[in-house]
Amino acid sequence: MVEFGFPAFLVLSAFLFACGLTCLATKRNAIGILMGVELILNAANLNFVAAARFVPTFRLEGQVFAVLVIVLAAAEAAVALAIFLNFYNNHATVNVENATDLKG
């Protein structure tokens, strides 16, 4: 019988991370990319909480990490969406492929 320990959580979080990276690479919509970032941040947070559970010296620290990351992610989403809407006002799209005014 398999006991699902720390490695199982690491594999799950690696899967979420890989999904996030794929989102970053394939989504052309800026909000889709932001969702990919949220996936990656959640993958990292899952690592923190799992480590808090399974690593004795990390019990409190892991939770502190996770709670602060949740706060920072919310702040990041707020600024990112403000910038996206601002871009939308000027370009009438949030498709990053249409961001082509700046080229060398």
User: Taking the complex as a whole, how short is the minimal distance between the CB of residue 102 and other proteins, in angstroms?
Assistant: 4
CB of 98 to other proteins, least distance (A): 9
Residue 95: strand pairing partners: 29
CB 95 within 8 A of CB 29: yes
Min dist. Cβ of residue 77 to other proteins (A): 5
Q: For residues 44 and 101, what is the distance between their CA atoms, to the nearest angstrom?
A: 35
CB of 97 to other proteins, least distance (A): 9
Q: Give the pair of three-digit tokens for residue 70.
A: 């949740």
How far is residue 8's CA from residue 71's CA, in Å, rounded to a whole number?
Answer: 26
Between CA 90 and CA 70 the distance in angstroms is 31
d(CA 51, CA 70): 17
